[in-house]
């Protein structure tokens, strides 16, 4: 049985690319780091603060590793001009729209 997303976006929804997976993992890591940092700052128990701080640091390292992978693979181009980055994003978006229209 096809999912709703497959019906809307086509059959390629069930085959995420490495790039998409990496973006999702980075977004999740960023959200988790924010949550752990907030919890670390709000807690007053030294033991719990240390534990939450350790989790925050682990997630930051994970995010850094994923970012490094994305740069090495060419998925992120941090040293391009902002205009070039927008052009690349626009081209990628147009490609996705064209593939889904078929």
Domain spans of the chain, in order of start:
17-101
pLDDT score recorded for residue 6: 56
**How much is the pTM?**
0.70
For the chain (length 102 residues), average pLDDT per consecutive 10? 53 67 92 96 95 96 94 90 91 82 71
pLDDT score recorded for residue 100: 74
What are the structure tokens assigned to 55, written together? 């989790």
pLDDT score recorded for residue 4: 54
pLDDT score recorded for residue 45: 95
In angstroms, the Cα distances linking 6 to 11, 15, 39 are 5, 10, 38
- Count of CB atoms situated within 10 Å of the CB of 88: 12
Grouping H, G, I as helix, E, B as strand and the rest as coil, residue 77 is: coil
Q: What is the 3-state secondary structure (H, E, C) of 64-84?
A: HHHHHHHHHHCCCCCCCCHHH
pLDDT score recorded for residue 39: 96
Return all residues near 9 (Cβ < 8 A) that are at least 6 apart. 100
């Amino acid at each position: 049985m096809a999912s709703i997303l497959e019906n809307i976006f086509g059959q390629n929804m069930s085959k995420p690319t490495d790039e998409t997976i990496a973006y999702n993992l980075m977004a999740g890591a960023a959200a988790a780091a924010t949550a752990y940092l907030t919890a670390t700052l709000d807690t007053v128990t030294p033991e719990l603060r240390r534990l939450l701080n350790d989790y925050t640091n682990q997630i930051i390292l994970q995010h850094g590793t994923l970012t490094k992978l994305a740069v090495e693979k060419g998925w992120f181009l941090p040293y391009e001009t902002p205009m070039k980055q927008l052009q690349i994003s626009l081209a990628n978006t147009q490609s996705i729209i064209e593939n889904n229209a078929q």
